[in-house]
Amino acid sequence: MRTTTVVPTGVEKRFRPDQVIVSKTDRQGRLTYVNPVFVEISGYAEADLIGKPHNVIRHPDMPRSIFKLLWETISSGAELFAYVVNLSADGGHYWVLAHVTPTIDPSGAIVGYHSNRRTPDARALSVVQALYRDLLAAERAATSSPDALAAGSALLAARLAEAGMDYDRWIWSLETGVAA
């Protein structure tokens, strides 16, 4: 595993539409499983990923407010679809449409999380990227981490309210091309 910070290169990596990136984590977000597609696109060896926080692939241009929404949703026991930009070990990046679900044990307790990621729709991605740029600008204008998260979350809530839908319905409308 790299001990230095990976610097984004701006080079976009792609994976095929028939490929699915799969990972599983424990409740704290530490990787417990990665499939070969994850290993290939991330540029890390499987041994360097297992036991590490999933955010090892977090891109600095991914709004924190989206991760806040993701964690609030999945830790409540619900699933979430989200567009995410990830950072590879070589500094390249790749966009995904992630489907994240809690893993539930027989007693009903959340014991971890499972994520399947597919290639995103290009038209939808352009809309998502515009929103994420605005969220990042709001977050980066804040003077503290809590204020940054609050600013991004407030802007996200406002934009969704303008659209008249929650994040899930917004994602679905982008994917299907039909307002939900």
**Domain spans of the chain?**
21-175
pLDDT for the residue numbered 1: 46
Q: Which CATH number fits domain 21-175: 3.30.450.20, 3.30.450.370, 3.20.20.450, 1.25.60.10?
A: 3.30.450.20
Exposure pattern of 40-71 as b/e (b: 16+ CB <10 Å)?
ebbbbeeebbeebebebbbbeebbbbbbebbe
Angle between helices 145-163 and 64-75 (to 10 degrees): 80
pLDDT for the residue numbered 178: 65
| Residues 170, 61: Cα–Cα separation, whole Å | 21
Question: Cα separations (Å) of 122 from 15, 16, 126, 127, 175?
Answer: 13, 13, 6, 9, 10
Would you state the structure tokens that stand for residue 83, as one six-digit string? 């567009």
Residue segments in the chain with a per-residue pLDDT below the cut of 50: 1-2, 180
Q: Which amino acid is at 143?
A: T
Q: What pTM does this model have?
A: 0.92
Q: Which of 94, 66, 82 is nearest to 9 (CA)?
A: 94
Task: Spell out the residues 6+ positions from residue 158 whose beta carbon is closer than 8 angstroms to its own.
Answer: none
| Residues 151, 148: Cα–Cα separation, whole Å | 5
Exposure pattern of 156-168 as b/e (b: 16+ CB <10 Å)?
beeebeeeeeebb
